[in-house]
Amino acid sequence: MNMSGQSFSVGGTPADRRIAHLDMDAFYASVELLRRPDLRGLPVIVGGGRDSGQGADYRGRGVVTTASYEARAFGLRSGMPLMRALAMCPDAVRLPTDFDEYRRVSRLFKHAIAQIAAVIEDRGIDEVYVDLTAVPGVEIEGGAAVAREIKHEVFAATSLTCSIGIAPNKLLAKIASELAKPDGITVVEAGDIPARIWPLPVGRINGIGPKATEKLAHLGVRTVGELAALPLARLVEAFGPTYGPWMHEAALGHDDRPIVTSRPALSRADRMRMSYSPTVYCASMVTPRLRARSAAASLCIESITPLLGAATARGGAQGSGSKYSTRRGAV
């Protein structure tokens, strides 16, 4: 039961399902540091072209593609304009992007994972979801033992570290992978949600961006737990019949989405719609559980279908950890 008197369950996914989210640590910067070990320990940012200059001499309209952890200590983040980043940290070393090399290393780490777990959903150049449910040994330490094996193989193939979150579903695994970065393993069970997930800022939920976070703050909601406690009707009123119920389910840790091992190619326009439209993004995450709950609340979830248009027709639907949280070599 939540603070408003509503009754609900958390983590509505079979507990024996083991889903991992693997995220390479500061991937582009880490790849560059393999070629420039002399820059280790220095604030390094990746972005822009080869002839755009360094520090105060930089001239360009590029953005930070990634930043080393030393650079992040100065407040530098991915997506920040390079000129602003270099003004904030004049001593940062800017390296130009080399996507051919990043793709090469990406193939290496994904091949290494496939030697242990074959069911992989590719989520981009530096992250994947992996279904560990049928992998031998996954029952040990909630899957942490298998995660250590994966991390070992990835490091052997690339000399790079990664962080892995393990949970009963993709939504929780994604959150978990960020809780012990860099080079960590975090296992989150359904029973951990109130203590481990609810104290986190709502922005930790993949799909709740800055605008939604700001709107939730106006409703007095800043943490995942406060979002879970907010009556569903208020979320529907504020965010509509698709995004509102999805937020409610996400705050409870509910996510029935399967691992998608392949999908038809999207056009560039469709990729942009899926990336930047909260309605389309979250409609792609509507599950049978959410449809049932929404129908019971007399919400017309089926009205989202026209919003997906050609994108779904061609592209398909798209704090600390538990006692198993660890960093490399510690578990």
Where do the domains of the chain lie? Answer: 19-28+100-191+321-327, 202-315
State the DSSP H helix or E strand holding residue 151, giving kind and residue range, or none if neither. Answer: helix 144-158
Q: Which CATH number fits domain 202-315: 1.10.3720.10, 3.40.50.300, 1.10.150.20, 3.20.20.10?
A: 1.10.150.20
Least confident of 80-94, 103-117, 229-243, 315-329: 315-329
Partnered with residue 122 across adjacent β-strands are 128
Q: Tell me: pLDDT of 226 over 70.
A: yes
- What span, in angstroms and rounded, lies between the C-alpha atoms of 45 and 167? 32
- What span, in angstroms and rounded, lies between the C-alpha atoms of 236 and 35? 51
- pLDDT class for 1, splitting at 50, 70, 90? very low
Q: Tell me: pLDDT of 11 over 60.
A: no
Does the annotation count 121 as an active-site position? no
Backbone angles phi and psi of 164, in degrees to 5: -130, 130
* Residues of the chain above pLDDT 70, percent: 72
Within a 10 A sphere around the Cβ of 54, how many other Cβ atoms? 12
Q: What is the pLDDT of residues 166-217, one digit of tens each?
A: 999 999 999 999 999 999 999 999 999 999 999 999 999 999 999 999 999 9
Q: Given this model, what pLDDT does residue 285 score?
A: 57
Q: What is the pLDDT of residues 39-72, one digit of tens each?
A: 999 999 999 877 666 665 667 778 999 999 999 9
Average pLDDT, the chain: 82
Q: Given this model, what pLDDT does residue 265 score?
A: 57
Q: Given this model, what pLDDT does residue 80 score?
A: 94
* Residues ≥6 apart with Cβ < 8 Å to 173: 19, 20, 21, 129, 165, 166, 167, 188
CATH number for the domain whose boundaries are 19-28+100-191+321-327: 3.30.70.270
* Arithmetic mean of pLDDT, 300-313: 34
* Arithmetic mean of pLDDT, 133-154: 97
Backbone angles phi and psi of 244, in degrees to 5: -60, -55
Strand 44-46 relative to strand 93-95, pairing? parallel
Three-state SS for 26-73 is CHHHHHHHHHCHHHCCCCEEECCCCCCCCHHHCCCCCECCEECHHHHC
* Arithmetic mean of pLDDT, 91-114: 96
- What span, in angstroms and rounded, lies between the C-alpha atoms of 184 and 42? 21
Q: Given this model, what pLDDT does residue 50 score?
A: 76
Task: Classify the phi-psi angles of 159: left when phi > 0, otherwise alpha if psi is within -120 to 50, otherwise beta.
Answer: left
Q: What is the pLDDT of residues 248-281, one digit of tens each?
A: 999 999 999 999 997 655 555 555 444 444 444 4
Q: Given this model, what pLDDT does residue 317 score?
A: 35
- What span, in angstroms and rounded, lies between the C-alpha atoms of 324 and 20? 14
DSSP state, 100?
H
What the block records as the tokens of 270 is 């469709």
Q: Classify burial at 198, counting beta carbons within 10 Å of its beta carbon; exposed 0-12, middle 13-18, buried 19 or more.
A: buried
108, 17 Cβ separation under 8 angstroms: no
Catalytic residue among 127, 189, 226, 249: 127
- The model's pTM: 0.77
* Residues of the chain above pLDDT 90, percent: 69
Partnered with residue 108 across adjacent β-strands are none
